[in-house]
Structure 1
Amino acid sequence: APYDPARPAPETLRALLDAAVAARAEGGERVGVLLSGGLDSSTIACLLRDQRKALGAPPLPVFSMMFREPQRSNERRHLDAVLATGGFAPTVLELDGYAPLQDFGGLLVATGGPSLSPNLACMREVVAAARARGVEVLLDGHGGDEVVSHGYGLLDELAARGDWLTLLGEARGAADNYGRSRFALARRVALRAGARRRDARIIARLLTPFDREAVPDAERPPAHLLSRDFLAESRLAERLRAAPRPEAAGGEAEQHRAVLADPLQPYAFEVHAGFYGAMGVEARYPFWDRKVAEFCLGLPASEKLSRGWSRLVLRRAMAGVVPASVLARRDKLDFTVHLARGLVHHHHEQVMDLVASAASPLAPHVDLARASSLYAKIAANPDAAPGRAVQMIWRAVSLGIWLESGCRAAQIEREAAA
């Protein structure tokens, strides 16, 4: 949609989101909200709560999962801040110590095979609790990041202009959001601009000593776990080089469009549809409202990222609706430590059979020596395991279980449906 600087963007976005939430709560079904304490889910919950209050409806059912340990993954204070505003009927499940591979075959059948989202394993308990409460529709905050956009394309716009000091300041929001070094992020942006600007190449070299993500090779997780034969047969490296990358699309407008057009978006909806459908609940996504997406696509980068604050337009839109402590969050909850703990404490033998046994169904596809070495490091200290390493093992294990039983179960399911 065309950007009108005369109309305050936060007010417009708030009205559009309010209408999007109302539209997805219509129909007479019993509606609940998945509430984490993050900005997206809190926005949906607080808007729907206020709509229900105006109609004299009962408190809004909200469903949450919490982890008490370690403290860095405890969102309880943010959740409590939202619940303290009133108008909610909360169900909060504490899932410390959950077993991510429990009843995993059923999850594979529901999602049609291995998925990129390990969080679905723990979400099952939350969605099951909602279904037990009679909820038929759950509003899900999925899409808030992609539709509103963090505005990080502004960094590339600043690099294209050679405004390096401003770039360093703006990189702070992205760095805090993903637990990265802003110098590392600024260096990567400078490297992308290096093909067009000589000063960008100089800046990239100057920032290298400050890139605290540059870990020694001995401590760095491998680039992948795929076997050499499988790589050659699939021509995967060649295909990846040809694949477009949103961050290389240009400035904010181009990057935002590229993110929304990425095949990962429909893929995520397919996985979610299978997951929620198997649980007997329909999920709806207010952030993916067409008018909301069109409006956000039309906003300049300065409305999304300013002084290190990403998704600024949404933070401003929800002022007075969502608690200030939630609006001020820069971090995102990382489930990596719980996934690593669950694999090691509950499924160690199963994981070892898949990543270290010559009889593993993964043998034609995965470099088992590399996979078993990586898993050994995770098992030695799951709380300190790098997120990328845990994800790689998770995906390998998911594939192994699917090859053993999941794909056959999915085929039976498809034939039965046909």
Structure 2
Amino acid sequence: MLAHEDEPFFAPNLFLHWALYKAAKEQNVRVILDGIDGDITVSHGIGILQELAGSGQWMALAREILGLSRRFQRSPWRILETHILRPLVPKSVRRVRRMIRSKRTPAAALAPLLSRDFARRIGWTQIQESSRRGQVQLPRTAKQDHYRGLTQGLIPYSLEVADHAAMAFSIEPRYPFFDKRLAEYCLALPTEQKIFHGWTRMVMRRGMANILPEKVQWRGGKADLSQNFFRSLLTSEGKVIEEMIRNPAAAIWEYVDQEALRRTYHRAVLSGDRDGALVLWQASVLGSWLQQWDSSSKVAHSGAGQQHSGCSPNGPSTLAAIGV
């Protein structure tokens, strides 16, 4: 995958798209309709909770929280804390809390796996502080929340990653949920069409009547794709990570703290720490990409030396073939 993505990527479930494109190629399929991130376009409507709280509509707020709790099997108090209480904490309080945290930990602790030298070289503390200052104000209405979701950088990034994977199999992916007209239509819908009595993406559910089975149409959550990811990471990918950790000369140690990664690995293996497993996956992708880049650089330098000495059998075309 790295050869086709051409950079380290953050898409833990890309293996599903990869397998899908491979199967499509074998069946001579040329175009695939992909529903990726359709829930962002349609909107879960969760932003209404802050809007109702801000306008003092407590009965309506309680109705939606209790509805969400029933549909998605989550504690109403957890929903209240996550979507209402935390965002309402004054900026001054959040700023003091961040200052206290930053005094307790060194710069590298903001991203525990970064090597101290690398964190210092790139000015990690300053980067984090600049990022916090640049954070936009929290949306106050459901429509503002919906708009922010539609305009975030995650969407084009996800499409770029998926496109690169599809190109590996000569597949053309198309994304109907990102049709500009559909996005504008969904953004303009009244909030009741996005969330109603705890049912999120309401307009989509209603639109699928007599098309989807009711059990699917009115389901609360969706499939948990994490099990295959974690199993693969700690089995087949685990070998790659082990070899990387045991190699003191691996290129990744210029950027990542070796001992911190080793502790994260053992914690993920022994206790099934899922957050740690995701970090391990990121480190594995970075380490593999650096190794691949280092190998291609050595080939390029070797080819350049042969060309200079007159020993290259193919001359400049050899270097062009490897992208130099």
Taking structure 2 as the reference length, the TM-score comes to: 0.76
Q: Partner amino acid for 2:142?
A: E
Provide closer, same or farther for how the CA distance between residues 237 and 354 of structure 1 changes in structure 2, counting only shifts above 3 A.
farther
Given candidates 166, 186, 190, the residue that maps to 2:85 is 190
* SS of residue matched to 2:173: strand
Deviation at 1:152, TM superposition (A): 1.0
Once the two structures are superposed, the pairs formed by residues 207-226 of structure 1 within 5 Å of their partners are 224-226=112-114
Q: Take 2:76 and 2:282, find their aligned partners in 1: how far apart are those partners?
A: 29
**Does the alignment pair 1:299 with 2:196?**
no
Given candidates 150, 165, 183, the residue that maps to 1:275 is 165
Q: Take 2:65 and 2:245, find their aligned partners in 1: how far apart are those partners?
A: 38
Q: Take 1:180 and 1:225, find their aligned partners in 2: how far apart are those partners?
A: 32
Is contact 2:50–2:140 with CA below 8 Å preserved after alignment? yes
**Does the alignment pair 1:145 with 2:39?**
yes
Provide closer, same or farther for how the CA distance between residues 283 and 176 of structure 1 changes in structure 2, counting only shifts above 3 A.
farther
Provide closer, same or farther for how the CA distance between residues 404 and 380 of structure 1 changes in structure 2, counting only shifts above 3 A.
same
Provide closer, same or farther for how the CA distance between residues 138 and 152 of structure 1 changes in structure 2, counting only shifts above 3 A.
same
* 1:237 equivalent in structure 2: 128
Is contact 1:151–1:252 with CA below 8 Å preserved after alignment? yes
Q: Partner amino acid for 1:232?
A: R
Percent identity of the aligned residues?
30
Is contact 1:356–1:372 with CA below 8 Å preserved after alignment? no
Q: Take 1:367 and 1:135, find their aligned partners in 2: how far apart are those partners?
A: 45
* 1:368 equivalent in structure 2: 258
Q: Could you tell which deviates more after superposition, 231-240 or 317-326?
A: 231-240
Is contact 2:10–2:282 with CA below 8 Å preserved after alignment? yes
**Does the alignment pair 1:227 with 2:115?**
yes
5+ unaligned residues in a row in structure 2: which ranges? Answer: 92-109, 301-318
Q: Could you tell which deviates more after superposition, 123-132 or 352-361?
A: 352-361
Once the two structures are superposed, the pairs formed by residues 51-70 of structure 1 within 5 Å of their partners are none
Deviation at 1:326, TM superposition (A): 0.9
Q: Take 2:179 and 2:168, find their aligned partners in 1: how far apart are those partners?
A: 24
Q: Which has the larger radius of gyration?
A: 2
Q: Partner amino acid for 1:403?
A: L
* 1:170 equivalent in structure 2: 64
Deviation at 1:408, TM superposition (A): 6.1
* 1:26 equivalent in structure 2: none
More helix by share: 2
Is contact 1:143–1:285 with CA below 8 Å preserved after alignment? no
Q: Partner amino acid for 2:40?
A: E
Is contact 1:149–1:304 with CA below 8 Å preserved after alignment? yes
Q: Take 1:168 and 1:377, find their aligned partners in 2: how far apart are those partners?
A: 39
Provide closer, same or farther for how the CA distance between residues 268 and 408 of structure 1 changes in structure 2, counting only shifts above 3 A.
farther
Taking structure 1 as the reference length, the TM-score comes to: 0.60
Q: Take 1:373 and 1:118, find their aligned partners in 2: how far apart are those partners?
A: 21
Deviation at 1:273, TM superposition (A): 1.4
Deviation at 1:319, TM superposition (A): 1.0
**Does the alignment pair 1:394 with 2:281?**
yes
Q: Take 1:181 and 1:114, find their aligned partners in 2: how far apart are those partners?
A: 37
Q: Partner amino acid for 1:192?
A: P
Once the two structures are superposed, the pairs formed by residues 264-343 of structure 1 within 5 Å of their partners are 264-343=154-233
* 2:54 equivalent in structure 1: 160
Q: Take 1:255 and 1:122, find their aligned partners in 2: how far apart are those partners?
A: 29
* SS of residue matched to 1:362: helix
* 1:135 equivalent in structure 2: 29
- Deviations 1:377-413 (CA, angstroms, capped at 9, x unpaired): 221254xx32x3322111111011111115765998x
Deviation at 1:128, TM superposition (A): 1.0
Q: Partner amino acid for 1:152?
A: I
Is contact 2:68–2:197 with CA below 8 Å preserved after alignment? no
5+ unaligned residues in a row in structure 1: which ranges? Answer: 1-106, 197-221
Deviation at 1:348, TM superposition (A): 2.4
Q: Partner amino acid for 1:225?
A: L
